[in-house]
Amino acid sequence: MTYLESALLGLIQGLTEFLPVSSSGHIQLGEALLGVKETDSLSFTILVHAATMLSTVVVFRNDIVGIFKGLFKGQRQELIFAAQVVLSMIPAALVYVFFNEQLEGFFGEDLTMVGICLLVTAALLALTSIAPAGDKPLSYGRALIIGTAQAIAMLPGISRSGSTISTALYLGIDKTRATQFSFLMVIPLILGGTLMDIASMSEPVAGTAATPTPVLAVGFVAAFLAGLFACRAMIGIVRKGKLWYFAVYCTVAGVLALLA
């Protein structure tokens, strides 16, 4: 992997992790276009996911600090929110533990699955235009449903942010709360998955002869900076009700993937 390829894949990961267009699907498309196999380097995969998680922490740092302060003080509202985040993680965690090998089978050179899932993402985003008014609270049941959407989004081409935010909007949750919960609920999930990957990996995170540390660093920085931009942009996009813009994009990308 070259510096340019690392930077481009990092940018793709950072932008598509938050914008509702599927990071896994676009990474696979990027690999096909660049002629590289990003997943051959587990170190790279771990670092770019850590970079996007860090960008989420930076953007929502005040919310995160407020949650921890509330937990420390035993405030009921923050305790409930933390429990809802944990509950939302369960479906994706179960899929990761019990069906990880089956999921990996969907990631390959064949872009058919990516194309189909991008079209599904397009439909999810388009339907947000008829979602009910956001006046319902984030209950445990709704948190579990949103978590189920997050688990389904582990398929390449299904946008995690798109599916979770869309589901929250369909359930009548306020746009700001839907976006906040979608981004905060993924932090412990990425952290847990990263730790499991590190524990199971045979190559060092610092890099290998195939993927030197400076090349990994370029991808990390690119993913982090792109993630900062995309995370902040996505907050405004949801508030303005413009998710259907990305439905058009995902439709075009999905058709192109099917024709590839």
Q: Is the pLDDT of residue 255 over 90?
A: yes
Structural tokens at position 104 = 């990996």
Task: For 80-123, write each residue's pLDDT tens digit.
Answer: 998 999 999 999 888 887 877 777 666 665 678 888 999 999 99
pLDDT of residue 107: 63
Cβ–Cβ under 8 Å, residues 144 and 87 = yes
CB-based contacts of 91: which residues, under 8 Å, 6+ apart? 144, 147, 148, 150, 151
Which token pair is 258?
């099917």
| Structural domain harbouring 74 | 3-259
In the chain, the N- to C-terminal Cα span, in Å, equals 23
pLDDT band at 150 (very low <50, low <70, confident <90, very high): very high
> How many Å separate Cα 228 from the centre of its chain?
13
Contacts of 165 (CB under 8 A, 6+ apart): 20, 128, 178, 179, 182, 238, 243
Give the count of domains, the chain.
1
> Could you read off the pLDDT of 179-234 as tens digits, one per residue?
999 999 888 888 877 777 676 655 554 444 456 778 889 989 999 999 999 999 99
How much is the pTM?
0.83
Residue 12 Cα to chain centre, angstroms: 12
Per the prediction, the chain carries an average pLDDT of 84
